[in-house]
Structure 1
Amino acid sequence: MRTLGAGQIALILVLMALLILTGVWATTVWNATGDVVMDRHGWIALGLGTFFSLLVGCGLMALMFFSSRSGHDEAADPFRKNQGPPAE
């Protein structure tokens, strides 16, 4: 197993610090808005926004997999060498 270099350790520390700061910020905002009441229209908007975001995300992922399997991506990459199908 390779050892980590100084740059990789610094990158990991910076990313961990950002993760911790994001968690602290999210907790602070969550607690600051704890006494705000959301009415029925707010819950409906939240539900519809979540549903349609998931619908668009799943649809785009399905189109990506369909495009990859149907061979349309090969024509868009002129630098890829013509190779046979991968060995299974």
Structure 2
Amino acid sequence: MRNMGKGNIFLLAILLLLFGLTAIWFVAAWNSSGDVEMSKHGWIAMGLGTVLSIVIGCGLMALMFFSSRSGHDEAADPFRKKPKRPF
């Protein structure tokens, strides 16, 4: 906390406020939908949506990692200075 300036403290306070408002909204939404029952098909759809979202996210992160490691990203950045090869 010693190295944090006023801007960082202000940003942290805003983020904590947003987190608190999100938590309050989540609890209110959860409590207001307490009498709603979900069918078996709803649970299946929610489970498949969750699993597919995680699979797509992991796949895109893996593609980004392998693209960065294979050197395909260097051609897209014309301002990056290329290291000189020693002869």
State TM-score, norm by structure 1.
0.85
After TM superposition, the structure 1 = structure 2 runs for residues 29-40 of structure 1, keeping only pairs within 5 Å, are 29-40=29-40
Counterpart of 1:69 in structure 2 is 69
1:60 aligns with 2:86: no
Q: Number of residue pairs matched? A: 84
Measure how far apart 1:76 and its partner are.
Answer: 0.7
**Consecutive aligned runs of 4 or more in structure 1 exceeding 4 Å deviation:** none
1:10 is displaced (CA, Å) by 1.8
Cα distance in 2 between the residues matched to 1:3 and 1:53: 38
In 2, the alpha carbon distance for the partners of 1:3 and 1:82 equals 35
How far apart are 1:41 and its partner, in Å?
0.7
Show the counterpart of 1:18: 18
Tell me the TM-score normalized by structure 2. Answer: 0.86
Report the Cα distance in structure 1 between the residues aligned to 2:11 and 2:70, rounded to whole angstroms: 39
Identity %: 62
1:6-44 CA distances to partner (integer Å, 9 max, x unpaired)?
222222211111111110110111111112100011001
Amino acid paired to 2:60? L
From the superposition, tell whether residues 2 and 79 of structure 1 become closer, same or farther in structure 2 (CA, over 3 Å): farther
* Structure-2 separation of matches of 1:74 and 1:16: 38
Structure 2: 5+ residue stretches without partners: none
Which blocks of at least 5 consecutive residues in structure 1 are unaligned?
none
